[in-house]
Amino acid sequence: MSERTPEEQLQRLRSSIDNIDAALVHMLAERFKATQQVGELKAEHRMPPSDPAREARQIERLRELAEAAHLDPEFAEKWFNFVVAEVIQHHTRIADEAAAE
């Protein structure tokens, strides 16, 4: 049995990365479905689009998870802040649409 060539090893690794990327996209889609429901609930009850206390707790939690997973906690926080900014935009839009009705 011969060992894999560097090109074959690279292809195997890239295939794995592609699978992980696909899983991440599907997981983000599920996350945004849930946050859409949160936005609708908040709009219905005239709650603010963001919850800074929860966001701070989530950042702390994600930083701890990142450290345990040997992922840079700064990167995890940046990712979370990016996602939350998008979610808040969605919640604001939902609230604006609900107020216009």
Q: DSSP string covering 66-96, please?
A: HHHTT--HHHHHHHHHHHHHHHHHHHHHHHH
Residue 39 to residue 27: CA distance in whole angstroms: 18
Residues of the chain with pLDDT under 50: none
Domain count, the chain: 1
Predicted TM-score (pTM) of the model is 0.82
pLDDT score recorded for residue 101 = 84
Q: Residue 59: which of 88, 27, 51 has the closest Cα?
A: 51
The model's pLDDT over 34-63, given as tens digits with 9 standing for 90+, comes to 999 999 999 999 999 999 999 999 999 999
Residue 1 within any structural domain of the chain: no
Report the CATH number that the domain containing residue 62 is assigned in CATH. Answer: 1.20.59.10
